[in-house]
């Protein structure tokens, strides 16, 4: 067992993901939400493709007043404009050749087809190629496809995009003590990770394998664990298991991994909570991520390791974590990195939340992410620290 530092573990998992990068495919832009660009998004044409009015008004040429000769609507091709003449233009319409100014509707006076008015100092139309020039790289390969990227691709004339899909994930819940209905009691704990994880994985950029979102509780025997992981590996790039990461009497995860010929990428991380988290690589460029059973620790493992794994598999860089200013002191956890549940306060600082125990979800439900208190340090109010956002909360 080789415990890695939290930062080193994230790097190692990202690298393992890159080594198993998913193949590219072609998709309609509207079907690529949450996927990743497999090639740079380059401009197919100059944008705008023609000089475009940015206001409703009158395109004029030379000194005024001007004789109104017609109108151009968006989508029409205007004839050139003669000196002393004006044409009415709509926002988005192509402006005529020869114009020297556009007078806004509200700044213009029209009498007997004669336009008078003073143009504003800045031109009121967009020049060809102002947004991008043909062949220019607008976004690099590895960019996440957001709704804005889908819109940009469509505006630029793309009918198909080269992308990498969301990795396919399966969730396996281990633990005979778990129940999936009713209130907990008499030694029985309600499974919270089965309902929580598929949703969080979706926010993290993955998609769910049908029948495995979640599957479980899986019986606490080695045979059942091996069978469940094998079945999940048929269709999943990443299998997330919950619980059993320690080596307690009914913790079968390590034995299961051994039986399946897995190799550890990460096996325990110097972070609290979440220490026993692990990532193992299996034949066929598949991964098993062992999320600890304590619910908050499982979420920490997802944010700490599954997010970099998804980034690697889809060719995204491992982005630097954002920096935030602490609104209160937060003690460190000795030689381990401390991930302290926190929320972004109205004054722009980050404040720890209450009920932060690793077996609890109450604090998590009020948090935006985790303040990263580096190993071997304590942090004080006013100090700048890194922030690990919860998947779904974009820094």
Dihedral sign for Cα atoms in the order 50, 54, 58, 62: negative
Q: Are strands 278-282 and 286-291 parallel, antiparallel or unpaired?
A: antiparallel
Q: Does 241 bind ligand MOO (CB under 6 A)?
A: no
Q: What whole-number distance in Å separates Cα of residue 391 and Cα of residue 166? A: 14
Find the distance separating the first CA and the last CA of the chain, reported in whole Å.
34
CA distances from 129 to 6, 9, 135 (A): 45, 44, 11
Which residue lies nearer to ligand LQZAQKY5 by CB, 57 or 194? 194
Q: What whole-number distance in Å separates Cα of residue 66 and Cα of residue 85? A: 5
SS3 264: strand
Contacts with ligand MOO, 356-395, as mask; x by CB under 6 A: --x-------------------------------------
Q: Does 198 bind ligand LQZAQKY5 (CB under 6 A)?
A: no
Binding partner at 166 among ligand MOO, ligand LQZAQKY5, none, C-beta below 5 to 8 Å by kind: none
Q: Does 272 bind ligand MOO (CB under 6 A)?
A: yes
Binding segment for ligand LQZAQKY5 (CB under 6 A), chosen from 58-66, 205-213, 289-297, 336-344, is 289-297
User: Which of 119, 274, 290, 363: binder of ligand MOO (CB under 6 A)?
Assistant: 274
Q: What whole-number distance in Å separates Cα of residue 213 and Cα of residue 164? A: 21
Q: What whole-number distance in Å separates Cα of residue 340 and Cα of residue 271? A: 11
Provide, rounded to whole angstroms, the least separation between the CB of residue 286 and ligand LQZAQKY5: 21
Q: Does 275 bind ligand LQZAQKY5 (CB under 6 A)?
A: yes
Binding segment for ligand MOO (CB under 6 A), chosen from 70-78, 181-189, 292-300, 383-391, is 292-300
Neighbours of 284 (CB within 10 A): 8
Chain positions contacting ligand LQZAQKY5, by CB under 6 A: 173, 175, 177-178, 189, 191-194, 242-246, 248, 251, 275-276, 292-295, 297, 358
Chain positions contacting ligand MOO, by CB under 6 A: 272-275, 292, 294, 297, 358
């Amino acid at each position: 067992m080789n415990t890695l530092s939290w930062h080193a573990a994230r790097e190692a998992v990202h690298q393992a993901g890159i080594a198993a990068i998913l193949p590219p495919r072609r998709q309609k832009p509207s079907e690529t939400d949450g996927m990743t660009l497999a090639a740079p998004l380059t401009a197919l044409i100059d944008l705008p493709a023609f000089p475009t009015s940015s206001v409703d008004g009158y395109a004029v040429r030379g000194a005024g007043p001007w004789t109104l000769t017609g109108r151009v609507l968006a989508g029409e091709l205007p004839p050139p404009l003669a000196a002393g003449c004006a044409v009415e233009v709509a926002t988005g319409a192509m402006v005529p050749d020869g114009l020297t100014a556009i007078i806004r509707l509200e700044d213009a006076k029209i009498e007997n087809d004669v336009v008078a008015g003073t143009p504003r100092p800045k031109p009121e139309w967009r020049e060809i190629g102002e947004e991008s020039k043909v062949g220019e790289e607008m976004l690099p390969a590895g960019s996440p496809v957001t709704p804005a990227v889908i819109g940009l691709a469509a505006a630029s004339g793309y009918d198909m995009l080269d992308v990498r899909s969301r990795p396919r994930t399966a969730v396996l819940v281990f633990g005979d003590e778990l129940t999936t209905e009713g209130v907990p009691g008499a030694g029985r704990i309600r499974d919270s990770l089965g309902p929580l994880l598929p949703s969080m994985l979706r926010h993290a950029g993955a998609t769910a394998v049908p029948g495995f979102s979640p599957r479980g509780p899986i019986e606490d025997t080695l045979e059942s664990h091996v069978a469940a992981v094998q079945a999940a590996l048929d269709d999943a790039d990443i299998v997330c298991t919950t619980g059993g990461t320690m080596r307690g009497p009914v913790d079968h995860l390590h034995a299961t991994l051994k039986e399946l010929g897995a190799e550890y990428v990460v096996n325990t991380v110097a972070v609290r909570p979440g220490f026993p988290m692990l990532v193992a690589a299996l034949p066929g460029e598949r991964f098993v991520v062992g999320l600890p059973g304590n619910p908050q620790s499982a979420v920490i493992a997802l944010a700490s390791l599954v997010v970099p794994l998804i980034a690697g598999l889809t060719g995204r860089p491992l982005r630097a974590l954002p920096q935030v200013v602490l609104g209160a002191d937060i003690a460190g956890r000795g030689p381990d990195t401390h991930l302290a549940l926190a929320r972004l306060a109205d004054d722009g600082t980050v404040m720890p939340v209450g009920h932060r125990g690793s077996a609890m979800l109450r604090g998590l439900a009020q948090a935006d992410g985790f303040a990263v208190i580096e190993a071997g340090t304590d942090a004080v109010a006013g100090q700048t620290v890194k922030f690990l956002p919860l998947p779904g909360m974009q820094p």
